[in-house]
Structure 1
Amino acid sequence: MTAPFLLEARALVRRDARTATTLLDAADFALAAGERVLITGPSGSGKSVFMRALALLDPIDSGHVLWHGRDIDRHAIPRYRRSVAYVRQRPALVDGTVEDNLRYPYSLQAYRDARFDRDRAEQLSRAAGRGQDFLAKRAGDLSGGEAQVASLIRVLQLAPEVLLLDEPTASLDPESTRAIETLVADWFDADRSARASLWVSHDPAQVERIGGRRMTMHAGRLTAYKEVIE
């Protein structure tokens, strides 16, 4: 028996509540364990709309999102978001240090069964090329790249199954971009049999580096790319 997809979208439709303009047009998508999928397309084509719909952050007008082949009822949404993590372009950090931000998820009901592992946080920090003092830095003093690294570490320490990466390296310097790519690659390689990622990018060089299945978005329509990058 074939295992169900980790994540699946069936005919997702999203319209602008004010203008009734179609932002996402009956999008179908399936993500299997071990896959890396990249979405490219022009600005305003609906890529972020699609990602936020998959993350169940915005309402959809019709269609379904399935997790391990099942619909997600309201009570399962916190657990779903724990396993399917959305990483946006501009991270939101709380006041305090980087360590305070890494500890924050464990104060939420969905993570009450888990405990903060400082050794793991330091390991992830080193993998991103950060110094020993990184966890002690104040969030307000971080550069854009450092803030994105901290935000990604906060997600990765929770061991999600799926990463939804919505242009996480846009406007970052090359060093920070490579740090983000390294963290994601290490996370994926640690358990390819049970993890997958979906990455939105405008950078052709980044698409080549990451590899995987490619799709494109134009005017709210998601379609398969002609080639597969190995």
Structure 2
Amino acid sequence: MSEELSDQGSLLEARQIGRQTTAGQWLIRNVSLAVHPGDRIAIVGPTGSGKTLFLRSLAILDDIQEGELRFHGNPLKDKELPEFRSQVVYLQQRPVLIEGTVEDNLKLALGFQVNQHKPHDIKALISLLNTFDRPESFLQRQSSALSGGEGQIVALLRALILSPQILLLDEPTSGLDPGTTKQFEAIILKWLSTSDKIPAFVWITHDHSQAERVARQIMTFPAGTILPVQKSH
């Protein structure tokens, strides 16, 4: 497992995280990770090794039984969770969409009080849709008529509208064809390079070649070790 990491300059830090079953069996234990501005971290490992459990812990979606999470160097208080979730956005493998149009789903995230100050930039949305080879009329498609891959695109756009500091991505391209997968990757990398927040991501993938394309560091489960990506030239 990784040694305890310094929180100096980190956006989000997990210190010696442990998750166990109700019977007391450890699912993951002593896993540490610090996410800094601009970090591009991929998590790889076999099915059942604890990747998603760890990512959900980072998103504070499940309780942890051991260890500590810190945001900007400080332990999180319950009253700070809404602001945390507007800045640390979890994108799950199978997106959950509401009934209505694509645009209704995109506006949903901005309806929460903590996000109401964030702009709804329709021109920016159209630009992103064009990157996915989707016309402006795509905004008026009913969510029930979308394919799984199209639903994942909508979920990504809904996340990016929030201008998060960190994206937590749980195999987000598993339902996409190779061409759309490359477009999805390009959008994430463009978001990293153009945002004024210097954001970061932690991206679970079963595809080692994808991890090497998108990440600068790769964390391997179940060991929890993290190493820099050796880019070929």
Fold-level similarity (TM above 0.5) = yes
CA distance in 2, matches of 1:35, 1:229: 15
> C-alpha displacement at 1:159, in angstroms?
0.5
Q: Pick the aligned partner of 1:178 from 173, 176, 182.
A: 182
AA in 1 matched with 2:96: A
Matched, 1:152 2:153: no
Match of 2:3 in 1: none
Match of 1:223 in 2: 225
- For residues 32-57 of structure 1, the C-alpha deviation after alignment (integer angstroms, 9 at most, x for no partner) is 11110111000000000000000000
Q: 1:3 to 1:15 in 2, by over 3 A?
A: closer
CA distance in 1, matches of 2:212, 2:119: 37
1:8–1:67 Cα contact (<8 Å) kept: yes
Q: Pick the aligned partner of 2:18 from 13, 16, 19.
A: 13
Residue aligned with 2:164, SS:
coil
AA in 2 matched with 1:121: L
Aligned positions of 1:133-172 closer than 5 A: 133-172=137-176
AA in 1 matched with 2:190: D
CA distance in 2, matches of 1:7, 1:178: 27
Matched, 1:71 2:72: no
> C-alpha displacement at 1:192, in angstroms?
7.5
- For residues 145-179 of structure 1, the C-alpha deviation after alignment (integer angstroms, 9 at most, x for no partner) is 11100000000011001111111011321122122
1:13–1:23 Cα contact (<8 Å) kept: yes
Residue aligned with 2:220, SS:
strand
CA distance in 2, matches of 1:119, 1:223: 41
Q: Pick the aligned partner of 2:116 from 112, 116, 120.
A: 112
Match of 2:4 in 1: none
User: Where do 5+ consecutive residues of structure 1 fail to align?
Assistant: none
CA distance in 2, matches of 1:14, 1:223: 17
Q: 1:78 to 1:222 in 2, by over 3 A?
A: same
CA distance in 2, matches of 1:23, 1:223: 16
Residue aligned with 1:28, SS:
strand
AA in 1 matched with 2:55: M
- % identical equivalent positions: 37
CA distance in 1, matches of 2:26, 2:117: 40
2:102–2:141 Cα contact (<8 Å) kept: yes
TM-score (norm 1): 0.92
Which deviates more from structure 2 when the two are superposed, residues 127-136 or residues 139-148?
Answer: 127-136
Residue aligned with 1:229, SS:
coil
AA in 1 matched with 2:9: P
TM-score (norm 2): 0.91
CA distance in 2, matches of 1:3, 1:190: 24
Matched, 1:32 2:36: yes
CA distance in 2, matches of 1:32, 1:108: 27
Q: 1:212 to 1:192 in 2, by over 3 A?
A: farther
AA in 1 matched with 2:21: D
CA distance in 2, matches of 1:25, 1:3: 23
User: Where do 5+ consecutive residues of structure 2 fail to align?
Assistant: 1-6
Match of 1:54 in 2: 58
